[in-house]
Structure 1
């Protein structure tokens, strides 16, 4: 019986913490002069709490596993909502495809450049000006 209560407590704590971050993100979003979705701010808040280890990861892990397990089911209402705009999507198909291709290409370039900068060969223990070849 105590294991059932313990499991229920872990799930309840995980969902309360996740939703608390969501609600705080929505509140911050309402206060900001620019438009940033509250869910994104809540996710960033949750990430910051987990990364700084203020919030232990094992507290939110049970809820995360449930959400990830049923993630495909959570996309059904969004898909149905998109289908209600079928006429608008077909009339704007060309600009949508162009913007997707261009943004994908830009994202790939940024990732390639960032990866190149992060993984470039460095000499361990050398002064900073020797690594750059004396160029500044």
Structure 2
């Protein structure tokens, strides 16, 4: 019964996020909006963490299996990825450096 309640809450948040994304035409994926809705409900105390804990643990346990279709999709587009490997590499390195700098500056100001 706990799995049913857990997955129901997670799916309702997912469908709400997808609905908001479709209605507003946002560039943010509906799944991300759904996670933010779930986070907001958990933070506000409207949903108790133990209500969704069993479903979350099950999804996390099999998360590696959920990435298999993504890996196959990447292999289908290998020519496109290799043709654009330099911009992909530079943007990955650049964005990582920006994140490191922002975290470093934030941590430095927090220590003061």
TM-score class, shorter: over 0.9
Report SS of the residue matched to 1:35. coil
Structure 1: any 5+ residue segments left out of the alignment?
A: 1-8, 121-136
Runs of 4+ in 1 over 4 A off after TM superposition: none
For 1:54-133, what aligned pairs fall within 5 Å after superposition? 54-120=46-112
Report SS of the residue matched to 2:35. helix
Higher RCO, 1 vs 2 (CA within 8 Å, ≥6 residues apart): 2
What does the per-residue CA deviation read over 1:44-93, in whole Å, with 9 as the maximum and x for residues that have no partner?
A: 00000111111000000000000010011110011101111000000000
RMSD (Å), alpha carbons: 0.9
* TM-score computed with the length of structure 1 as normaliser: 0.80
Of residues 19-28 and 31-40 in structure 1, the stretch that sits farther from structure 2 once superposed is: 31-40
* Deviation, structure 1 residue 119: 2.8
Counterparts of 2:90 and 2:12 in 1: how far apart (Å)? 38
* Deviation, structure 1 residue 95: 0.7
How many pairs were matched up?
A: 112
* TM-score computed with the length of structure 2 as normaliser: 0.96
The structure with the largest helix share of the pair is 2
Structure 2: any 5+ residue segments left out of the alignment?
A: none
* Deviation, structure 1 residue 118: 2.3
